[in-house]
Structure 1
Amino acid sequence: MKVAVMGAGAVGCYYGGMLARAGHDVVLIGRPQHVEAIEREGLRLETQTFDEQIGHPHLTASVDPAAVTGANLVLFCVKSTDTESAGAFIKPHLAADALVLTLQNGVDNAERLRGVIDQDVAAAVVYVATEMAGPGHVRHHGRGELVIEPSPQSAAVAQTLAAAQVPVEISANVRGALWAKLILNCAYNALSAITQLPYGRLVTGEGVRDSMRDVIDECVAVAQADGVTLPSDVDVAVRRIAETMPGQYSSTAQDLARGKRSEIDHLNGYVARRGAALGVPAPANRLLHTLVRLIEDKARQVV
């Protein structure tokens, strides 16, 4: 299979690296510093069970969105804030029969992308702890499973991923699974970002679990008002994050530490906006969204 990863950050590099390691031809489309390192030395994929350099002939890198040309599968891994613009960049170059799999935070990216491109789009829910430890170096801290939306090509793609040691489930209720992941992100991401603490230390703080409970209850109320069928194990999943990824910092925390714009508008901000539209109060989510945006704005101020 020929695979292109649009937005090759930590998540995209991990899954692209796993597919290249299994023998598929993968091109990583990302930022110049990572592309240059990967083209020079290959992608360093550091996991809990192996630490390898993966490069030619199966893995290449490019800064050009046109590199999606000819790909059977496109892993769409850009920030939620860039969904429409990145979709427009790749649109002229996509194969007619390509499947574009959205591996993004938030619940509406696949729908937004379908408004931009004509190819099949399937949403995926991602449960993985990764970080870019340096140019061309992805570090995997744990997990890695995907839940993907049914499509004419989903079964074949799931089989390919599973053979590359990526656990996959095809679910008819991906909307519910996306909301469950959104709830996890709303509970952890902003708090980890504001405090710059990993999950394991974060949950030991005074009042943290009660505050997370407020956030979760609001999310559930908004989801139910929106007609979403949530999995029954949301509370267990929230608790399991700190247990299975104690050393992981949220993607929002990583963004703020690097002075980058985060996806908070599509996490707690989305819940606050959707709640307002549905008449469901979400003050805890609104406050977390406001605090993260204040930190972002402060970092961008010119002294």
Structure 2
Amino acid sequence: MKVAVMGAGAVGCFYGGMLARAGHEVTLIGRQNHVASIRRDGLRLESLSFDEFIEITACTDASGVVSADAILLCVKSPDTEAAVLAMKQYLSESAVIVTLQNGVDNAERVRALVEREVLAAVVYVGSEMGGPGHVRHHGRGELIIEPGTSSERLARILNDAGISTSVSANVRGALWEKLVLNCAYNAISALVQLPFGDLCQRGGTAVNRAMRDIVAECIAVASADGVNISRDVDETVARIMATIPAGQYSSTAHDVATHRPSEIDHLNGHIVGRGVALGIATPVNHLLMMMVRVLDNQRADQRSTKAASADGVLI
């Protein structure tokens, strides 16, 4: 299968690397520094069981999706529309787009822009970029894909490549389960800049109570929105505590640390927005959203100042 990965960060490089390792023709579309390293040395995929350099095509332009049978959309949720519009003219008529992103509405946003098969997927993987062209896989890697014309074939290909993949009619519920996990952990991790194990150790029972309040709001909104997920707050919190690796930083923490815009509006912000629409109070999620937005805006101001200085406007 010919596969393009639009947004080759830690998630995209892991799945693209695994597919290329299994013999599929894969093109990674990502940032210049990663692309230059991959073109020179190959993609370094460091996992718990192997550490290899994988020969793989890489480029910085959306034209890399040309003639791809499947496109794995791995850009940040705020960049979904821009990424789809950039690659729209290059899509083959039979291409299927699979959304491997945080948030619960990316597939619908893609369908509004292109007339192609679009499959929502839920991603559970611990990975990070160890440097240009170097992805570290810390564990897991499962995918859950919604039913569609291409779903069973894709699942077989992914499973054969060592990526545990299933097809589920309740992908909406699974996406919301992942959203609840992200809401409970990402913003807190970003604000204190600690991995999960250290956060629990230093925060003690207060962390558990905070997560319980966040989860309770998320479940109330999901229930009002007709989403099929667990309604047991304690059970959900326990599952979250057991799911997150002890040394794992959240993606939002990484965004804040590297001065990149976060996905907070598509995580806790989505809960707040749906809560307003459905008449459900979400004060804890609202507070977390506001605090991360402040950090986002602060980083944006710093980026603007640096850019202006480089242009000679400020000294």
Q: Compute the TM-score of the two structures, normalised by the length of structure 2.
A: 0.93
Q: Distance in 2 between matches of 1:162 and 1:236?
A: 28
- C-alpha change, 1:95 and 1:81, in structure 2 (3 Å) is same
1:264-302 CA distance string (max 9 Å, x none) = 010001101110110000010000011111112222324
Equivalent position SS for 2:190: helix
Q: Aligned to 1:189, which of 183, 186, 189? A: 186
2:253 aligned with 1:256, yes or no? no
The alignment yields a C-alpha RMSD, in angstroms, of 1.1
* Contact 2:187–2:289 (Cα < 8 Å) also in 1: yes
1:53-91 per-residue CA deviation (whole Å, 9 max, x = no partner) reads 001xxx110011011011111100010001111111111
Q: Offset at 1:126?
A: 0.2
CA drift at 1:236? 4.2
What's the CA shift for 1:231?
4.4
CA deviations over 1:241-267 (Å, ceiling 9, x no partner): 23xx11110000011110000100100
Separation (CA, whole Å) in 1 of partners of 2:236 and 2:85: 35
Equivalent residue in structure 2 for 1:91, among 84, 88, 91: 88
Q: Does 1:238 align with 2:240?
A: yes
**Equivalent position SS for 1:218:** helix
Counterparts of 1:241 and 1:188 in 2: how far apart (Å)? Answer: 11
The answer for the alignment partner of 1:224 in structure 2 is 223
Q: Which structure has the greater CA radius of gyration?
A: 2
Matching of residue 208 in structure 1 with residue 207 in structure 2:
yes
Task: Compare 226-235 and 22-31 and name the one that shifted more.
Answer: 226-235
Secondary structure of 1:175 counterpart: helix
Partner secondary structure for residue 260 of structure 1: coil
Letter in 1 for 2:239: A
Structure 1 residue 128 and structure 2 residue 125: aligned? yes
Residue 98 of structure 1 and its aligned partner are, at CA, apart by 1.1
| Match in the other structure for 1:103 | 100
The amino acid across from 1:223 in the alignment is: A
Rounded to whole Å, the distance in 2 between the matches of 1:231 and 1:4 is: 35
**CA-to-aligned-CA distance 1:123-146 (integer Å, 9 cap, x gap):** 000000111110000011111000
Indicate conservation of the 8 Å contact 1:199/1:241, yes or no: no
Q: Which of 124, 136, 140 is equivalent to 2:137?
A: 140
Instruction: Tell me the number of residue pairs that the alignment of Structure 1 and Structure 2 aligns.
Output: 298
Give 4+ residue runs of structure 1 displaced > 6 Å after superposition.
none
SS in 1 for 2:209: helix
Q: One-letter code of the match for 1:157?
A: L
Structure 2 residues without counterparts, runs of 5 or longer:
306-315
**Aligned-partner Cα distance in 1 for 2:73–2:6:** 5
CA contact (8 A) 1:177 1:231 kept: no
Gapped regions of structure 1 (runs ≥ 5): none
Match of 2:68 in 1: 71
Secondary structure of 2:290's counterpart equals helix
Distance, in Å, in 2 between the alignment partners of 1:132 and 1:100 is 24
Cα-to-partner distance string for 1:92-120 (whole Å, 9 max, x where unaligned): 11111111000000000000010011110
Shift of 1:239: 2.0
3-state secondary structure, aligned to 2:153? helix
- Is 2:23 the counterpart of 1:23? yes
